[in-house]
Structure 1
Amino acid sequence: MAEDNKNKNNNNKNNQGFNFKFNPWIFYGFFISIFIIIFVFGNGLNFNNPRPISLSKFYQYLDSNQVDKVSFSNTKATIYLKEQALQDSVHKLVSKDVFNKLNTKGPHYFTEIGDLKDFQETLRKALEQGKISEYTKEPESMWGELLSILLPFLLIGALWIFMMRRMSGGAGGGGGQIFSIGKSKAKLFDEKNDVKVTFANVAGLEGAKEEIQEIVEFLKNPEKYTSIGGKIPKGALLVGPPGTGKTLLAKAVAGEAKVPFFSLSGSDFVEMFVGVGASRVRDLFKQAKEKAPSIIFIDEIDAVGRARGKNNFSGSNDERENTLNQLLTEMDGFGTNTNVIVLAATNRADILDKALLRAGRFDRQIYVDLPDIRERKEIFEVHLKPIKKAEDIDTEFLAKQTPGFSGADIANVCNEAALIAARKNKKSVDKQDFLDAVDRIIGGLEKKNKIVTPEEKRAIAIHEAGHATVSWMLEYAAPLVKVTIVPRGQSLGAAWYLPEERLIVRPEQMLDEMCATMGGRAAEKVVFDKISTGALSDLEKVTKQARAMVTIYGLNDKLGNITYYDSSGQNDYNFSKPYSEETAQVIDKEISTVIEGQYQRAIAILTENKDKLIELADILIDREVIFKDDLEKIFGKRPFEKEVHSAETDINSRINNATENTEKSE
């Protein structure tokens, strides 16, 4: 049996080796080459490139006994010189061929004939006098003139076909020919394809998986639902931030459903030709109906599903709108027994057309949110399977160290940790490699060779120590993990915090976070009585937070319970602000008041603890990195410390190890 399998595999390999895919351009090139050859030889031309001369010059060469033979037609004569004549410098331009050898074969010149009878009589006399060896009259060829007329059109036609093929993007049906440009470009997965992704590969997202699983079950066993009067849902829209697993869920559906699965992107419908998008929509749904029960998945549907009538400067006959109209018609035109379901994914649900979101088209909107700590642990367990990791890796600890990370971010952390371990010539990936990977992704690559003067280094240390001090003194500021003054990415220093995962945020919590963010600039003011440009990212962050408090969340007493946020995205297309100029002035003043208030609050905290701030900065200059233990030694325990981190002992052991390594390096 083993030998039979080997023979079969060898036969398959041999068959694959002899597969030949015909390229139509070989066919086009063959005929164009034939036309060119006919044109060249039909006109009596050759590659020796004869030069034109006047008729009087030809008679001069003929009288001086330099011409060997002449070939002529009704309008043109081709002249061949004698070998002795080629030695004359007068003929140096035609005496050599393309290989720089003596051109004895010719032809060397050609000339236009005036009166054919006189020309022929002159050649007859020259032949009788022995001045030339022979002369011949060639029959007229129509191929040259015909091809000179047709060749430009043939070349333009070939170029046009080439451009159409390129713009069609290799559309299916006939290998992407121009007549198949309106065919759907969806990739078909069926039960014969090797789709390895299942729901077991999708960690977390329990609610989303439950709703998606119900759709899969409907396609597998529709009688279970239709027997009690249920109808198949027309579509489900996956909505959520980038990297949360929307496309991965669709891949899992393809692996679980065991039905034909058509996958394509929203941009695949868009083309420069009018009507192509609508034609591709029709073709897609036609194929799906023929293979029903089936699933259509449209990734990034906002490329064609954007709300109609907004920012439309291209006129009423907009190609994208035509495509959307056809999509709406096809989805709503299904009978309930066609067993075709449309899945779509987007992170811009606010800009989609309302007609697309109504019941009967996308009956369900499944929100795929960023994972919580439990889901992050499950995601880590999935991505850690192919990695050779140390035995002491605690996925719960890693989940606590990555708040706000999406599934794609966690996959990136695991990959970066493996790369860091390989760079250090380790045989397995340990905990420190994962922590370094988190630092690498959040803060950027360390730039230890960046030139920083002692004055700049002290200013950076004071700035970062200011952040650490203020955050330590405030109840709702995020707990500190570590601070470094080693340049990373575009920043000259960085502080790592472990923010509490909150579902709602109160004003005092936002104000404490803003005060901690302003701690860097406040520390510069307290110590140096000067400020610098190093607080750019801090100012950007607090300005966004203050603007959100005033204009979005209604947390400002002056403006009251009002918001200018529009979740539908309609304001993006308006040319006027949703408030008056007087209100705009109030908003600007309140934003400035909030920020300046927290800045002065940070200055007051740091002024009270100036000695401890400078002591912390000196340690930071000396070791370039400080951890939570260093702040506890200087400031003591935080009075409002919350026991929310079960991995506290792991953090402390990591801090101690890092401290020992730093002291050894010194």
Structure 2
Amino acid sequence: MANDKKNIKDKKPKFSPYWIYGILIAFFLGIQLFGGGSYQDANTISPSEFLRYAEDGDVEKVIVINRHLAKVYLTSEAQEKEIHKKSKPTSFIPTATRLPNYTFEIGDLQNFENDLDAIGKEDLLSFDREESTLSDFLIGLLPFILLIGVWIFIMRRMSGGAGGGAGGQIFNIGKSKAKLFDQNTEVKTTFKDVAGLEGAKEEVQEIVDFLKFPEKYTTLGGKIPKGALLVGPPGTGKTLLARAVAGEAKVPFFSLSGSDFVEMFVGVGASRVRDLFKQAKEKSPSIIFIDEIDAIGRARGKNAMSGSNDERENTLNQLLTEMDGFGTNANVIVLAATNRADILDKALMRAGRFDRQIYVDLPDIRERKEIFEVHLRPLKKSKDLDTDFLSKQTPGFSGADIANVCNEAALIAARNGKKEVDKQDFLDAVDRIIGGLEKKNKIITPSEKKAVAYHEAGHATISWMLEHAAPLVKVTIVPRGRSLGAAWYLPEERLIVRPEQMLDEMCAALGGRAAEKVIFDKISTGALSDLEKVTKQARAMVTIYGLSDKIGNLTYYDSGQSEYGFTKPYSEQTAELIDKEISNIIETQYKRAIKLLEENKDKLTELAEELLEKEVIFKDNLERIFGKRAFEKEERESLDK
């Protein structure tokens, strides 16, 4: 019964202020149509007909209104005549004044007066003036109504649209835009959905425990941390961790972005910070999550273009005060995420504001396997799909990249009409993401194709022969993205890199140009990306890692230096020495690559010819031509350990 009453109540039309506007407009239109203009319902005649009626003595009087409209009033005897039977006027609105029998428009008033004089009826004529006060008032008021309407429209748009009640938007502009997640809001993400990130997950889970069971930690005299900052490269799962906290915490969770504080009005950002913390304190214990906090947390005083009253700095000052100010309440924890922790203000990073910095790094091989297992759940995959193989094929991939690989693999399988996603679809997806779209219809001359084949075969040969070079996965000369060919390797995931490892990688990268020199005795522009990679590596060896004997144990890298404020921390003489060292390292590895290829020219040629024939070759083809890789046993032993 109660539900029926509720349904009846819900079906009742809701009140809207636009109803009032509609009623007022209809009222004014009614007055205009049916009120002041009721005489228009009188019969219209021509001036010649009027003169005939006047000459016959049927007209009692004629009143000229505003010098253009004539109202004709007949005598009582004339109204009884058959010709005038239909001349009796009607009106929708009752009126005490007598209505005219006929009306007509006067062209020239002087001619009309002369016509009345000619028939001797000039005494019938009189003049009057009528003004439509309401119409004039409305016309005078119209510009003001338009101005007020435009102002209200602009204010509503600037203050965030239709939310928050009609007409009150301008007063809500300083309110927080945070989305509230509480027991009434279902958040399905939990820590089970966060694969990998074991260390970060433990730290964040502990924050949830602080709010659920504060006595466990405060009985020993400890204090609940004020905040935790999630730092890491894009796509590693910082926002996902926060979403899992919202799903697990079972306390009010306020979520917003750093850019939500920014507004064109002065003081709005600080006002929104105050309002956000006021709401959080009212609902404490609670969690505030600020995504991309670098939008307002950038170090103060480092932007030369900003004025003395920088709105972003005012917002940051208010955030600092709220997080650890004079009247701060407990039981409100602030979570924030950024991938640019180096530019954040030092006052924001200190203990007491963000007590913990949780680094969310790119996943390692074990964590990538767990992430693949999460993203493979909704896919219809083949039974023999090996997640260990997939995790090995995706070094350096973030969680977002792995999700993209799984989605691309499903799309490729669907495009090929398959019923399930198999290993080849994932390999194609990795190729698509790393190298770009295949361009099989790209026009390449036979000589260019041959040069590309020998170039890629040179990379494959050198990498197969050097101990520390990354083992090959496959080589292709099918154009993909901006490249004409590509070689895929499986780099070893190292925490530290030794000089011999860097040199072997540089030699393998120069193998393409070296192969062109050995086979054609000519070089081309196709080695641009290889030269760029090698030059960066050699410069890092000399100027950053201190791996050059001539420069010594020095580094010219300054972690605190701005990207845009670089100054050379060395003399011109040292700069010249650095340039020579970089050139010597690269040239030594180039000569080493040429020597290796000349010694194995026949195998290089065989590999290139097979590549021209098949366009794509794999590790098995190299094993058949070169034999087993001499370092493979050692690699397997190190992996087993």
Residue in structure 1 matching 2:347, options 342, 346, 355: 355
Q: Which residue of 512, 518, 522 maps to 1:526? A: 518
Residues of 1 paired with 2:583 and 2:591: CA distance? Answer: 12
Measured on the aligned residues, the alpha-carbon RMSD in Å equals 3.9
Q: What residue number does 2:324 align with?
A: 332
Q: How far, CA to CA, are the matches of 1:214 and 1:163 in structure 2?
A: 47
Q: Cα offset for 1:647?
A: 14
Question: In the alignment, does 2:206 pair up with 1:214?
Answer: yes
Larger mean Cα displacement after TM superposition, 170-179 or 452-461: 170-179
Aligned to 2:233: 241
CA distance in 2, matches of 1:284, 1:547: 48
Q: Secondary structure at the match of 1:157?
A: helix
**Deviation per residue, 1:97-140 (Å, 9 max, x gap):** xxxxxxxxxxxx999xxxxxxx865654456669xxx9986523
**In the alignment, which of 176, 194, 199 is matched to residue 186 of structure 2?**
194
The Cα offsets for residues 586-630 of structure 1, whole Å up to 9 and x where unpaired, read as 444433333333333322322332222222111100000111121
Aligned equivalents of 1:612 and 1:642: distance in 2? 23
Inter-CA distance 510–21: structure 2 relative to 1 (3 Å threshold):
farther
Deviation readout 1:414-439 (Å, 9 max, x if unpaired): 11121122222222222222222222
What CA deviation, in whole Å up to 9, does each residue of 1:278-311 have, x standing for no partner? 1111111111011100000000111110111112
Q: What amino acid is aligned across from residue 379 of structure 2 in structure 1?
A: I
Asked if 1:495 is matched to 2:487, the reply is yes
Q: Is 2:435 the partner of 1:447?
A: no
Question: In structure 2, which of residues 618, 624, 628 is the aligned counterpart of residue 633 of structure 1?
Answer: 624
Superposed CA offset, 1:508-547 (max 9, x none): 2112112211221222222222222222222222232223
CA distance in 2, matches of 1:203, 1:500: 22
- Gaps (5+ residues) in structure 1? 46-61, 80-108, 112-118, 649-666
TM-score by length of 2: 0.81
Query: Deviation digits for residues 227-249 of structure 1, max 9, x if unmatched?
Result: 11010100000001111110000
Does the CA contact (< 8 Å) of 2:291 and 2:337 recur in 1?
Answer: yes
Post-superposition Cα deviations, 1:12-57, rounded to whole Å, max 9, x if no partner, equal 9x79995978777x57975997799799989x99xxxxxxxxxxxx
Which residue of structure 2 aligns with residue 564 of structure 1?
A: 556
The aligned counterpart of 1:54 is none
Letter paired with 1:311? N
Deviation at 1:572, TM superposition (A): 2.9
Q: What residue in structure 1 maps to residue 147 of structure 2?
A: 156
CA shift at 1:381, angstroms? 1.2
Which of 374, 382, 386 in structure 2 is aligned with 1:390?
Answer: 382
User: How much has 1:396 moved relative to structure 2?
Assistant: 1.5
Distance across 1 between alignment mates of 2:9 and 2:601: 77
SS across alignment from 2:621:
helix
What secondary structure does 1:571 align onto? coil
Letter paired with 1:607: E
Answer yes or no: is 1:307 the counterpart of 2:299: yes
What is the alpha-carbon distance in structure 1 between the residues aligned to residue 526 and residue 460 of structure 2? Answer: 16
SS in 1 for 2:562: helix
CA distance in 1, matches of 2:64, 2:543: 91
Match 2:414 to one of 415, 422, 430: 422
Question: Could you say which structure has the larger radius of gyration?
Answer: 2
CA distance in 1, matches of 2:9, 2:490: 56
Counterpart-to-counterpart distance in 2, 1:623 and 1:556: 43
Number of the residue aligned with 1:618: 609
Partner of residue 277 from structure 2, selected from 275, 278, 285: 285
**Percent same amino acid at aligned positions?**
75
Pair 1:71–1:498, CA change in 2 (3 A)? farther
Q: 1:541 to 1:575 in 2, by over 3 A?
A: closer
Q: Say whether the 8 Å CA contact 2:322–2:328 is kept in structure 1.
A: no
Change (3 A) 1:140 1:249: same
Whole-Å separation in 2 of the counterparts to 1:534 and 1:346: 38
**Which amino acid is the alignment partner of residue 262 of structure 1?**
F
Instruction: Provide the rounded CA distance (Å) in 2 between the counterparts of 1:32 and 1:323.
Output: 45
Match status 1:480 vs 2:472: yes
Following superposition, the deviation at residue 408 of structure 1 comes to 0.9
CA contact (8 A) 2:68 2:109 kept: no
Q: Take 2:290 and 2:197, find their aligned partners in 1: how far apart are those partners? A: 20
| Of 365-374 and 590-599, the range deviating more from structure 2 | 590-599
Alpha carbons of 1:590 and 1:18: their partners in 2 closer, same or farther (altered >3 Å)?
farther
How many residues of Structure 1 are paired with residues of Structure 2 in the alignment?
584
Q: What residue in structure 2 maps to residue 536 of structure 1?
A: 528
2:395 aligned partner: 403
Structure 2: any 5+ residue segments left out of the alignment? 38-46, 51-61, 71-104, 120-124
Query: For the residues of structure 1 that align with 2:616 and 2:513, how far apart are their CA atoms?
Result: 19
Contact preservation (8 Å) 1:239, 1:346: yes
**Aligned-partner Cα distance in 2 for 1:401–1:110:** 96
CA contact (8 A) 1:171 1:180 kept: no
Pair 575,315 (structure 1): closer, same or farther in 2 beyond 3 Å: farther
Shift of 1:489: 1.6
- Do the aligned residues in 2 keep the contact of 1:39 with 1:144 (CA within 8 Å)? no
From 430, 433, 444, give the equivalent of 1:438: 430
Contact 1:377 1:399 in 2 (8 A): yes
Aligned residues of 1:476 and 1:513 also touching (Cα < 8 A): yes
Give the CA deviation at 1:263: 0.4
Partner of 1:512: 504
- What is the 5 A alignment of 1:541-560? 541-560=533-552
Alpha-carbon separation, structure 2, partners of 1:554 and 1:28: 79
Provide the residue aligned with 1:86 in structure 2. none
Conserved 8 A contact 2:456-2:475 = yes
- Residue 121 and residue 343 in structure 1: after superposition, are their counterparts in 2 closer, same or farther (change >3 A)? same
Aligned: 1:269 with 2:254: no
Matches of 2:440 and 2:20, distance apart in 1 = 60
CA–CA distance in structure 2, aligned partners of residues 419 and 16 of structure 1: 49
SS, match of residue 527 in structure 1 = helix
User: CA–CA distance in 2 between the matches of 1:127 and 1:582?
Assistant: 116
SS at match of 1:402: coil
Distance across 2 between alignment mates of 1:283 and 1:567: 37
User: Where does residue 604 of structure 1 map in the other structure?
Assistant: 595
> Hey, what's the Cα distance between the residues in 2 that align with 1:584 and 1:77?
98
Residue 449 of structure 1: how far off its partner (Å): 1.9
